[in-house]
Structure 1
Protein backbone atom coordinates (compact mmCIF):
# COMPACT_ATOMS: atom_id res chain seq x y z
CA UNK A 1 0.00 0.00 0.00
CA UNK A 2 2.88 2.34 0.87
CA UNK A 3 4.46 1.72 -2.55
CA UNK A 4 1.21 2.70 -4.28
CA UNK A 5 0.87 5.89 -2.24
CA UNK A 6 4.47 6.79 -3.00
CA UNK A 7 4.00 6.26 -6.73
CA UNK A 8 0.78 8.31 -6.76
CA UNK A 9 2.52 11.12 -4.89
CA UNK A 10 5.33 11.08 -7.44
CA UNK A 11 2.93 11.42 -10.38
CA UNK A 12 1.50 14.54 -8.75
CA UNK A 13 4.84 16.26 -8.23
CA UNK A 14 4.97 19.54 -10.13
CA UNK A 15 1.23 19.47 -10.81
CA UNK A 16 -1.07 22.35 -9.92
CA UNK A 17 -4.52 20.78 -9.51
CA UNK A 18 -6.20 24.18 -9.65
CA UNK A 19 -4.56 25.28 -12.90
CA UNK A 20 -6.19 24.90 -16.32
CA UNK A 21 -3.37 23.78 -18.61
CA UNK A 22 -3.12 24.20 -22.34
CA UNK A 23 -3.84 20.90 -24.09
CA UNK A 24 -0.27 20.43 -25.36
CA UNK A 25 1.24 21.06 -21.92
CA UNK A 26 -1.28 18.77 -20.21
CA UNK A 27 -0.43 15.93 -22.59
CA UNK A 28 3.30 16.44 -22.01
CA UNK A 29 2.89 16.36 -18.23
CA UNK A 30 0.77 13.22 -18.29
CA UNK A 31 3.07 11.34 -20.66
CA UNK A 32 6.03 12.12 -18.39
CA UNK A 33 4.13 10.59 -15.47
CA UNK A 34 2.75 7.49 -17.22
CA UNK A 35 5.15 5.05 -15.56
CA UNK A 36 2.90 2.06 -14.90
CA UNK A 37 4.04 -1.38 -16.02
CA UNK A 38 1.31 -1.42 -18.68
CA UNK A 39 0.40 0.95 -21.50
CA UNK A 40 -1.97 3.36 -19.77
CA UNK A 41 -5.08 4.62 -21.54
CA UNK A 42 -5.26 8.35 -22.20
CA UNK A 43 -8.73 9.59 -21.26
CA UNK A 44 -10.70 12.79 -21.71
CA UNK A 45 -13.74 13.89 -19.69
CA UNK A 46 -16.07 16.77 -20.54
CA UNK A 47 -18.69 18.49 -18.43
CA UNK A 48 -21.40 19.80 -20.75
CA UNK A 49 -24.06 22.41 -20.18
CA UNK A 50 -26.93 20.02 -20.89
CA UNK A 51 -29.54 18.11 -18.95
CA UNK A 52 -29.84 14.72 -20.71
CA UNK A 53 -33.12 14.02 -18.90
CA UNK A 54 -34.64 16.21 -21.62
CA UNK A 55 -34.79 14.60 -25.07
CA UNK A 56 -33.71 17.79 -26.82
CA UNK A 57 -30.51 17.93 -24.74
CA UNK A 58 -29.22 14.43 -25.37
CA UNK A 59 -25.68 14.29 -26.78
CA UNK A 60 -24.45 11.17 -28.54
CA UNK A 61 -22.47 10.25 -31.60
CA UNK A 62 -19.41 8.47 -32.91
CA UNK A 63 -16.04 9.74 -34.01
CA UNK A 64 -13.24 8.05 -35.93
CA UNK A 65 -10.04 9.03 -34.15
CA UNK A 66 -7.29 9.84 -36.67
CA UNK A 67 -4.71 7.75 -34.81
CA UNK A 68 -6.93 4.97 -33.46
CA UNK A 69 -7.48 4.07 -29.82
CA UNK A 70 -4.56 1.72 -29.36
CA UNK A 71 -6.78 -1.02 -28.01
CA UNK A 72 -8.01 -4.24 -29.59
CA UNK A 73 -11.76 -4.01 -30.13
CA UNK A 74 -13.81 -7.19 -30.42
CA UNK A 75 -16.81 -6.67 -32.70
CA UNK A 76 -20.02 -8.70 -32.81
CA UNK A 77 -22.34 -8.49 -35.81
CA UNK A 78 -25.96 -9.56 -36.06
CA UNK A 79 -26.48 -10.49 -39.70
CA UNK A 80 -27.52 -13.29 -42.02
CA UNK A 81 -26.38 -14.74 -45.35
CA UNK A 82 -24.22 -12.46 -47.51
CA UNK A 83 -24.13 -9.71 -44.87
CA UNK A 84 -22.79 -12.24 -42.36
CA UNK A 85 -20.10 -13.23 -44.87
CA UNK A 86 -19.33 -9.55 -45.41
CA UNK A 87 -18.90 -9.07 -41.66
CA UNK A 88 -16.50 -12.02 -41.36
CA UNK A 89 -14.45 -10.81 -44.33
CA UNK A 90 -14.16 -7.36 -42.72
CA UNK A 91 -12.75 -8.86 -39.52
CA UNK A 92 -15.76 -9.21 -37.21
CA UNK A 93 -14.97 -11.45 -34.23
CA UNK A 94 -18.47 -12.88 -33.68
CA UNK A 95 -21.21 -13.14 -36.32
CA UNK A 96 -24.66 -14.65 -36.02
CA UNK A 97 -28.42 -14.27 -35.84
CA UNK A 98 -30.75 -16.21 -33.52
CA UNK A 99 -27.86 -18.23 -32.10
CA UNK A 100 -25.98 -15.03 -31.21
CA UNK A 101 -29.07 -13.63 -29.49
CA UNK A 102 -29.24 -16.79 -27.38
CA UNK A 103 -25.58 -16.44 -26.42
CA UNK A 104 -26.00 -12.81 -25.36
CA UNK A 105 -29.18 -13.58 -23.41
CA UNK A 106 -27.14 -16.05 -21.37
CA UNK A 107 -24.84 -13.21 -20.40
CA UNK A 108 -21.94 -14.28 -22.60
CA UNK A 109 -20.80 -10.91 -23.93
CA UNK A 110 -17.32 -11.48 -25.30
CA UNK A 111 -17.22 -8.34 -27.42
CA UNK A 112 -16.77 -4.58 -27.04
CA UNK A 113 -18.96 -3.25 -29.84
CA UNK A 114 -22.15 -4.49 -31.47
CA UNK A 115 -23.36 -3.91 -35.04
CA UNK A 116 -26.54 -5.09 -36.78
CA UNK A 117 -28.19 -4.94 -40.17
CA UNK A 118 -31.59 -3.15 -40.14
CA UNK A 119 -33.54 -6.37 -40.75
CA UNK A 120 -32.03 -7.88 -37.59
CA UNK A 121 -33.28 -5.18 -35.22
CA UNK A 122 -36.62 -6.86 -34.33
CA UNK A 123 -34.49 -9.76 -33.10
CA UNK A 124 -31.79 -7.64 -31.47
CA UNK A 125 -34.50 -5.57 -29.76
CA UNK A 126 -34.99 -8.47 -27.34
CA UNK A 127 -31.53 -7.72 -25.96
CA UNK A 128 -32.27 -4.16 -24.89
CA UNK A 129 -32.10 -4.96 -21.16
CA UNK A 130 -28.75 -6.70 -21.63
CA UNK A 131 -26.98 -4.46 -24.14
CA UNK A 132 -28.62 -1.14 -23.24
CA UNK A 133 -27.04 -0.67 -19.78
CA UNK A 134 -23.65 -1.53 -21.27
CA UNK A 135 -24.01 1.10 -24.00
CA UNK A 136 -23.80 -1.57 -26.69
CA UNK A 137 -27.27 -1.49 -28.21
CA UNK A 138 -26.96 -0.96 -31.99
CA UNK A 139 -28.26 2.45 -33.08
CA UNK A 140 -28.53 3.98 -36.56
CA UNK A 141 -27.56 7.40 -35.17
CA UNK A 142 -24.05 6.19 -34.43
CA UNK A 143 -23.69 3.93 -37.45
CA UNK A 144 -24.09 0.59 -35.70
CA UNK A 145 -27.35 -0.25 -37.48
CA UNK A 146 -26.37 -0.21 -41.13
CA UNK A 147 -26.29 -2.07 -44.42
CA UNK A 148 -22.62 -1.09 -44.81
CA UNK A 149 -21.45 -3.85 -42.51
CA UNK A 150 -17.88 -3.94 -43.82
CA UNK A 151 -17.46 -0.20 -43.30
CA UNK A 152 -18.91 -0.33 -39.79
CA UNK A 153 -16.69 -3.24 -38.75
CA UNK A 154 -13.55 -1.61 -40.12
CA UNK A 155 -14.42 1.70 -38.42
CA UNK A 156 -14.94 -0.05 -35.09
CA UNK A 157 -11.67 -1.92 -35.43
CA UNK A 158 -9.79 1.14 -36.64
CA UNK A 159 -10.58 3.66 -33.91
CA UNK A 160 -14.26 4.57 -33.91
CA UNK A 161 -15.31 5.84 -30.47
CA UNK A 162 -18.96 6.08 -29.52
CA UNK A 163 -19.91 8.72 -26.96
CA UNK A 164 -23.06 9.43 -24.98
CA UNK A 165 -23.67 12.01 -22.26
CA UNK A 166 -24.38 10.64 -18.80
CA UNK A 167 -26.97 11.88 -16.28
CA UNK A 168 -24.69 14.51 -14.78
CA UNK A 169 -23.93 16.01 -18.21
CA UNK A 170 -20.55 14.29 -18.45
CA UNK A 171 -18.98 12.58 -21.45
CA UNK A 172 -15.78 10.59 -21.14
CA UNK A 173 -13.81 8.31 -23.44
CA UNK A 174 -10.45 6.70 -24.00
CA UNK A 175 -8.66 8.53 -26.82
CA UNK A 176 -5.37 6.68 -27.12
CA UNK A 177 -2.50 5.18 -25.20
CA UNK A 178 0.31 6.79 -23.23
CA UNK A 179 2.76 5.15 -25.65
CA UNK A 180 1.39 7.28 -28.52
CA UNK A 181 3.51 10.27 -29.39
CA UNK A 182 2.21 13.56 -28.02
CA UNK A 183 1.04 14.83 -31.42
CA UNK A 184 -1.07 11.72 -32.03
CA UNK A 185 -2.79 12.11 -28.65
CA UNK A 186 -3.36 15.81 -29.31
CA UNK A 187 -4.95 15.07 -32.70
CA UNK A 188 -7.21 12.44 -31.15
CA UNK A 189 -8.34 14.76 -28.34
CA UNK A 190 -9.09 17.55 -30.82
CA UNK A 191 -11.03 15.16 -33.08
CA UNK A 192 -13.07 13.91 -30.13
CA UNK A 193 -13.74 17.45 -28.90
CA UNK A 194 -14.79 18.57 -32.38
CA UNK A 195 -17.25 15.67 -32.66
CA UNK A 196 -18.81 16.47 -29.27
CA UNK A 197 -19.11 20.17 -30.17
CA UNK A 198 -20.76 19.31 -33.51
CA UNK A 199 -23.21 17.07 -31.63
CA UNK A 200 -24.47 20.04 -29.58
CA UNK A 201 -28.24 19.60 -29.26
CA UNK A 202 -30.76 22.27 -30.14
CA UNK A 203 -31.99 22.40 -26.55
CA UNK A 204 -28.59 23.30 -25.07
CA UNK A 205 -28.52 26.85 -23.67
CA UNK A 206 -25.68 28.93 -22.29
CA UNK A 207 -22.12 27.55 -22.13
CA UNK A 208 -22.01 24.14 -23.80
CA UNK A 209 -18.42 22.97 -23.18
CA UNK A 210 -18.04 23.93 -19.54
CA UNK A 211 -15.06 21.94 -18.26
CA UNK A 212 -12.57 19.50 -19.76
CA UNK A 213 -9.98 17.33 -18.08
CA UNK A 214 -7.47 14.73 -19.26
CA UNK A 215 -5.82 11.89 -17.41
CA UNK A 216 -4.14 8.52 -17.84
CA UNK A 217 -5.23 5.29 -16.16
CA UNK A 218 -2.90 5.73 -13.19
CA UNK A 219 -2.12 9.42 -13.53
CA UNK A 220 -3.51 12.63 -12.06
CA UNK A 221 -6.46 14.44 -13.63
CA UNK A 222 -5.51 17.74 -15.25
CA UNK A 223 -7.90 20.54 -16.06
CA UNK A 224 -7.61 21.77 -19.63
CA UNK A 225 -8.08 25.37 -20.75
CA UNK A 226 -11.11 24.99 -23.01
CA UNK A 227 -9.88 27.74 -25.32
CA UNK A 228 -6.74 25.70 -26.10
CA UNK A 229 -8.83 22.94 -27.63
CA UNK A 230 -9.69 25.15 -30.58
CA UNK A 231 -6.10 26.01 -31.43
CA UNK A 232 -4.61 24.57 -34.61
Structure 2
Protein backbone atom coordinates (compact mmCIF):
# COMPACT_ATOMS: atom_id res chain seq x y z
CA UNK A 1 0.00 0.00 0.00
CA UNK A 2 1.40 3.40 -0.99
CA UNK A 3 2.42 5.69 1.88
CA UNK A 4 0.38 8.84 2.32
CA UNK A 5 2.15 12.17 2.14
CA UNK A 6 2.00 14.49 5.16
CA UNK A 7 -0.61 16.61 3.42
CA UNK A 8 -2.71 13.57 2.48
CA UNK A 9 -2.62 12.37 6.10
CA UNK A 10 -3.61 15.82 7.32
CA UNK A 11 -6.53 15.99 4.89
CA UNK A 12 -7.68 12.47 5.79
CA UNK A 13 -7.73 13.40 9.47
CA UNK A 14 -9.27 16.86 8.97
CA UNK A 15 -12.15 16.01 6.65
CA UNK A 16 -14.88 13.39 6.96
CA UNK A 17 -15.19 11.62 3.60
CA UNK A 18 -18.80 10.64 4.39
CA UNK A 19 -20.03 14.04 5.56
CA UNK A 20 -22.45 16.01 3.39
CA UNK A 21 -21.29 19.62 3.14
CA UNK A 22 -23.13 22.75 2.14
CA UNK A 23 -21.44 24.49 -0.80
CA UNK A 24 -20.24 27.43 1.30
CA UNK A 25 -18.76 25.14 3.96
CA UNK A 26 -17.01 22.93 1.38
CA UNK A 27 -15.55 25.93 -0.44
CA UNK A 28 -14.26 27.43 2.82
CA UNK A 29 -12.57 24.10 3.62
CA UNK A 30 -10.90 23.93 0.19
CA UNK A 31 -9.65 27.51 0.48
CA UNK A 32 -8.27 26.76 3.94
CA UNK A 33 -5.98 24.00 2.67
CA UNK A 34 -5.23 25.46 -0.79
CA UNK A 35 -1.65 25.58 -2.00
CA UNK A 36 0.15 28.89 -1.70
CA UNK A 37 2.40 28.00 -4.63
CA UNK A 38 -0.14 28.14 -7.45
CA UNK A 39 -3.76 29.02 -8.19
CA UNK A 40 -5.64 25.73 -7.95
CA UNK A 41 -8.66 24.94 -10.11
CA UNK A 42 -11.95 24.31 -8.32
CA UNK A 43 -13.86 21.39 -9.84
CA UNK A 44 -17.37 20.02 -9.48
CA UNK A 45 -18.39 16.44 -10.29
CA UNK A 46 -21.90 14.99 -10.53
CA UNK A 47 -22.88 11.33 -10.53
CA UNK A 48 -26.01 11.07 -12.67
CA UNK A 49 -28.66 8.39 -12.88
CA UNK A 50 -28.07 7.79 -16.59
CA UNK A 51 -26.46 5.19 -18.81
CA UNK A 52 -24.85 7.15 -21.67
CA UNK A 53 -24.57 3.99 -23.77
CA UNK A 54 -28.22 4.69 -24.61
CA UNK A 55 -28.85 7.63 -26.94
CA UNK A 56 -31.84 8.84 -24.90
CA UNK A 57 -29.67 9.08 -21.77
CA UNK A 58 -26.80 11.17 -23.15
CA UNK A 59 -26.11 14.45 -21.34
CA UNK A 60 -24.10 16.97 -23.33
CA UNK A 61 -24.11 20.69 -23.90
CA UNK A 62 -22.54 24.07 -23.28
CA UNK A 63 -22.87 26.50 -20.39
CA UNK A 64 -21.45 29.98 -19.86
CA UNK A 65 -19.96 30.50 -16.41
CA UNK A 66 -20.83 34.05 -15.23
CA UNK A 67 -17.41 34.66 -13.67
CA UNK A 68 -15.40 32.91 -16.39
CA UNK A 69 -13.06 29.98 -15.88
CA UNK A 70 -9.82 31.71 -15.03
CA UNK A 71 -8.22 29.72 -17.83
CA UNK A 72 -7.00 31.14 -21.13
CA UNK A 73 -8.84 29.26 -23.86
CA UNK A 74 -7.04 28.53 -27.10
CA UNK A 75 -9.49 28.58 -30.01
CA UNK A 76 -8.99 27.43 -33.61
CA UNK A 77 -11.46 28.37 -36.34
CA UNK A 78 -12.03 26.85 -39.78
CA UNK A 79 -13.24 29.69 -41.96
CA UNK A 80 -12.44 31.64 -45.13
CA UNK A 81 -12.83 35.20 -46.36
CA UNK A 82 -14.88 37.59 -44.26
CA UNK A 83 -15.67 34.89 -41.70
CA UNK A 84 -11.96 34.28 -41.17
CA UNK A 85 -11.46 38.01 -40.58
CA UNK A 86 -14.36 38.06 -38.11
CA UNK A 87 -12.87 35.15 -36.18
CA UNK A 88 -9.48 36.84 -35.95
CA UNK A 89 -10.99 40.12 -34.77
CA UNK A 90 -12.95 38.20 -32.10
CA UNK A 91 -9.70 36.79 -30.71
CA UNK A 92 -9.27 33.37 -32.32
CA UNK A 93 -5.75 31.98 -31.82
CA UNK A 94 -5.59 30.28 -35.23
CA UNK A 95 -7.76 30.62 -38.32
CA UNK A 96 -7.45 28.70 -41.56
CA UNK A 97 -8.85 26.12 -43.94
CA UNK A 98 -6.88 23.34 -45.66
CA UNK A 99 -3.69 24.76 -44.15
CA UNK A 100 -5.13 24.47 -40.63
CA UNK A 101 -6.30 20.92 -41.37
CA UNK A 102 -2.77 19.92 -42.46
CA UNK A 103 -1.32 21.58 -39.38
CA UNK A 104 -3.63 19.54 -37.13
CA UNK A 105 -2.89 16.34 -39.05
CA UNK A 106 0.78 17.01 -38.29
CA UNK A 107 -0.07 16.89 -34.58
CA UNK A 108 -0.51 20.56 -33.73
CA UNK A 109 -3.61 20.26 -31.55
CA UNK A 110 -2.94 22.62 -28.67
CA UNK A 111 -6.50 23.98 -28.65
CA UNK A 112 -9.35 23.94 -26.15
CA UNK A 113 -12.11 24.60 -28.71
CA UNK A 114 -12.41 24.11 -32.48
CA UNK A 115 -15.07 26.08 -34.36
CA UNK A 116 -16.07 25.91 -38.02
CA UNK A 117 -18.40 27.61 -40.47
CA UNK A 118 -20.88 25.13 -42.06
CA UNK A 119 -19.18 25.36 -45.48
CA UNK A 120 -15.88 24.16 -43.97
CA UNK A 121 -17.20 20.86 -42.63
CA UNK A 122 -16.03 19.03 -45.75
CA UNK A 123 -12.49 19.91 -44.73
CA UNK A 124 -13.03 19.42 -41.00
CA UNK A 125 -14.63 16.01 -41.61
CA UNK A 126 -11.22 14.65 -42.64
CA UNK A 127 -10.03 15.29 -39.10
CA UNK A 128 -12.60 13.04 -37.43
CA UNK A 129 -10.03 10.54 -36.16
CA UNK A 130 -7.81 13.36 -34.92
CA UNK A 131 -10.34 15.69 -33.28
CA UNK A 132 -12.95 13.12 -32.23
CA UNK A 133 -10.93 11.33 -29.51
CA UNK A 134 -9.99 14.72 -28.00
CA UNK A 135 -13.58 15.93 -27.91
CA UNK A 136 -12.71 18.80 -30.27
CA UNK A 137 -14.84 17.90 -33.30
CA UNK A 138 -17.11 20.86 -34.18
CA UNK A 139 -20.77 20.07 -33.61
CA UNK A 140 -23.81 22.16 -34.65
CA UNK A 141 -25.72 21.05 -31.53
CA UNK A 142 -23.01 22.62 -29.37
CA UNK A 143 -22.83 25.81 -31.43
CA UNK A 144 -19.32 25.07 -32.69
CA UNK A 145 -20.52 24.70 -36.28
CA UNK A 146 -21.99 28.11 -36.97
CA UNK A 147 -21.91 31.02 -39.42
CA UNK A 148 -21.57 33.33 -36.42
CA UNK A 149 -17.96 32.46 -35.68
CA UNK A 150 -17.24 35.79 -33.97
CA UNK A 151 -19.83 35.12 -31.26
CA UNK A 152 -18.69 31.51 -30.89
CA UNK A 153 -15.10 32.68 -30.32
CA UNK A 154 -16.23 35.32 -27.80
CA UNK A 155 -18.31 32.73 -25.93
CA UNK A 156 -15.37 30.31 -25.76
CA UNK A 157 -13.00 33.02 -24.58
CA UNK A 158 -15.53 34.43 -22.13
CA UNK A 159 -16.11 31.41 -19.91
CA UNK A 160 -18.26 28.98 -21.87
CA UNK A 161 -17.50 25.34 -21.04
CA UNK A 162 -18.64 22.11 -22.63
CA UNK A 163 -20.00 19.26 -20.53
CA UNK A 164 -20.42 15.62 -21.49
CA UNK A 165 -21.30 12.65 -19.33
CA UNK A 166 -18.72 9.84 -19.17
CA UNK A 167 -19.40 6.10 -19.39
CA UNK A 168 -19.81 5.75 -15.63
CA UNK A 169 -22.49 8.44 -15.55
CA UNK A 170 -20.12 11.07 -14.17
CA UNK A 171 -19.91 14.62 -15.46
CA UNK A 172 -17.31 17.11 -14.23
CA UNK A 173 -15.76 20.46 -14.99
CA UNK A 174 -13.56 23.18 -13.59
CA UNK A 175 -15.67 26.10 -12.39
CA UNK A 176 -12.95 28.65 -11.68
CA UNK A 177 -9.82 29.26 -9.63
CA UNK A 178 -9.40 29.09 -5.87
CA UNK A 179 -8.47 32.80 -5.99
CA UNK A 180 -11.98 33.68 -7.22
CA UNK A 181 -14.29 35.22 -4.65
CA UNK A 182 -16.76 32.94 -2.90
CA UNK A 183 -19.60 34.66 -4.75
CA UNK A 184 -17.96 34.13 -8.15
CA UNK A 185 -17.44 30.42 -7.50
CA UNK A 186 -20.97 30.03 -6.17
CA UNK A 187 -22.39 31.72 -9.27
CA UNK A 188 -20.36 29.42 -11.51
CA UNK A 189 -21.34 26.34 -9.49
CA UNK A 190 -25.03 27.24 -9.72
CA UNK A 191 -24.83 27.94 -13.46
CA UNK A 192 -23.06 24.64 -14.15
CA UNK A 193 -25.36 22.50 -12.01
CA UNK A 194 -28.49 24.24 -13.34
CA UNK A 195 -27.36 23.49 -16.92
CA UNK A 196 -26.93 19.80 -16.04
CA UNK A 197 -30.35 19.65 -14.39
CA UNK A 198 -32.00 21.31 -17.40
CA UNK A 199 -30.21 18.89 -19.73
CA UNK A 200 -31.88 15.88 -18.09
CA UNK A 201 -32.50 13.42 -20.94
CA UNK A 202 -35.84 11.79 -21.64
CA UNK A 203 -34.48 8.34 -20.83
CA UNK A 204 -33.33 9.21 -17.29
CA UNK A 205 -35.40 7.37 -14.69
CA UNK A 206 -35.58 7.85 -10.93
CA UNK A 207 -33.19 10.15 -9.10
CA UNK A 208 -31.18 12.12 -11.65
CA UNK A 209 -28.46 13.87 -9.62
CA UNK A 210 -27.26 11.18 -7.24
CA UNK A 211 -24.03 12.65 -5.91
CA UNK A 212 -22.28 16.01 -6.10
CA UNK A 213 -18.71 16.65 -5.01
CA UNK A 214 -16.44 19.67 -4.89
CA UNK A 215 -12.67 19.51 -5.00
CA UNK A 216 -9.59 21.49 -5.99
CA UNK A 217 -6.39 20.50 -7.75
CA UNK A 218 -4.59 19.51 -4.55
CA UNK A 219 -7.55 19.39 -2.16
CA UNK A 220 -9.86 16.67 -0.88
CA UNK A 221 -13.08 15.65 -2.60
CA UNK A 222 -15.98 16.86 -0.45
CA UNK A 223 -19.52 15.60 -0.86
CA UNK A 224 -22.15 18.30 -1.40
CA UNK A 225 -25.68 17.80 -0.07
CA UNK A 226 -27.81 17.20 -3.17
CA UNK A 227 -30.65 19.06 -1.41
CA UNK A 228 -28.77 22.20 -2.52
CA UNK A 229 -29.16 21.17 -6.15
CA UNK A 230 -32.50 22.30 -7.53
CA UNK A 231 -34.36 19.51 -9.30
CA UNK A 232 -32.06 16.78 -7.96
TM bracket, shorter-chain basis = over 0.9
Counterpart in the other structure of 2:45: 45
Which residue is 1:171 aligned to?
171
Following TM superposition, by how much is the alpha carbon of 1:141 offset from its aligned partner in structure 2, in angstroms?
1.2
What secondary structure does 2:38 align onto? coil
CA deviation profile, 1:117-155 (whole Å, cap 9, x unmatched): 111112111111111111111111111111111111011
Segments of 5+ residues of structure 2 without an aligned counterpart are none
Aligned to 2:159: 159
Shift of 1:9: 2.7
Q: Contact conserved, 1:47 with 1:209, CA < 8 A, in 2?
A: yes
Alpha-carbon distance between aligned partners in 1 of 2:67 and 2:135, rounded to the nearest angstrom: 23
Q: Which residue of 1 aligns with 2:69?
A: 69
Does 1:110 find its partner at 2:75? Answer: no
Decide whether the 8 Å contact of 1:23 with 1:229 is kept in 2.
no
TM-superposed CA distance for 1:227, in Å, is 1.0
Alignment partners' CA distance in 2, 1:126 and 1:199: 30
Q: Distance in 2 between matches of 1:151 and 1:198?
A: 23
The answer for the alignment partner of 2:129 in structure 1 is: 129
Structure 1 residue matching 2:28: 3-state secondary structure:
helix
Extract structure 1 runs of 4+ deviating beyond 2 A.
7-14
Tell me the equivalent position of 2:197: 197
In structure 1, stretches of 5+ residues that fail to align are none
Superposed CA RMSD = 1.7
Q: Once the 2 structures are TM-superposed, how far is the Cα of residue 13 of structure 1 from its aligned partner?
A: 4.5
| Structure 2 Cα separation of the partners of residues 196 and 51 of structure 1 | 15
Deviation string for 1:27-73 (max 9, x for gaps)?
Answer: 11111111241100000111111111011111000000000000111
The alpha carbon displacement at 1:14 in A equals 2.6
- Counterpart in 2 of 1:212? 212
Matched with 2:139 is 139
